Amino acid sequence: MTTQPSTRRELNKARTRERLLEALRAQLSRGSLESMTVEEVAEAAGVSRRTFFNYFTSLEAALAEGMSVPIEGMSEAFRARPAEEVPLVAMDQALQVAPIPRDLLSWIAAVKCSGLERHSVAVNVWAYHQEWFEGLLRERLPRASDLAVTTLAGTVMAIFEAAERHWMQTPVDIVDDRAAADFNDLLRQGLQLAAAGWVTPAETT
């Protein structure tokens, strides 16, 4: 869980980190991921190349952080769900309390605008999210086998990607509250389908 900066130095560092992430997202929005350099991102943020590397080991690491920080609220909501709740149901309920925020969806839209959503950087970011969810599951299910954890995490991330594909069928220029709500509705529907074994009510009658 991220804590709030408590000193002026920490506050300045947090602001620099945020400027770097905003500069990276702006570059993505212009469709320049493939040719993007650390120098360009640092210059846009008003810092040096050396400063960039004080915060991130690579552009990939910065992108991963930009797309992971916004889901910390959902992580905490998931941890707070009752222990006996099935993980897919717990994630669905956590999204009611802490839906995927506009910040993360703006990153997704920026990656899509770059035309490189299957670029190695974007693919590795999704792998990063799977590792994040595996960590949450191991906290929740300490006795579960590695196979159970990895297959469940993989299923959830596949649902996330499927929701994204459906959401992006309509071009998104600005991610507003309505667009964010639409994405979360799709994500929750996918989780509910998985929890029900992909059998809809109509198919059970």
- 3 state SS for 41-94: HHHHHCCCHHHHHHHCCCHHHHHHHHHHHHHHHHHHHHHCCCCCCCHHHHHHHH
Q: Which of 182, 15, 2 is nearest to 105 (CA)?
A: 182
* 44 plus 131 within the same structural domain: no
The per-residue pLDDT for range 102-159, each reduced to its tens digit, is 888 887 777 766 655 555 555 566 677 788 899 999 999 999 999 999 999 999 999 9
* 84 plus 132 within the same structural domain: yes
Burial level of 202, CB count in 10 A (0-12/13-18/19+)? exposed
Q: Of residues 19 and 172, which shows the higher confidence score?
A: 19
Q: Domain boundary at 19, 40, 59, which?
A: 59
* 30 plus 97 within the same structural domain: no
Stated pTM of the model: 0.74
* 105 plus 47 within the same structural domain: no
Contacts of 62 (CB under 8 A, 6+ apart): 20, 21, 24, 41, 52, 55, 56
* 25 plus 109 within the same structural domain: no
Domain encompassing residue 162: 65-197
* 55 plus 69 within the same structural domain: no
Q: The domain that contains 186 carries what CATH number? A: 1.10.357.10
The per-residue pLDDT for range 158-168, each reduced to its tens digit, is 998 899 889 98
Count of the separate structural domains present in the chain: 2
Q: The domain that contains 55 carries what CATH number? A: 1.10.10
105, 179 contact by CB (below 8 A)? yes
Q: Which of 176, 60, 55 is nearest to 119 (CA)?
A: 60
Per-residue model confidence (pLDDT) at position 108: 77
Q: In the structure, what pLDDT confidence band is assigned to residue 32 with cuts at 50, 70 and 90?
A: low
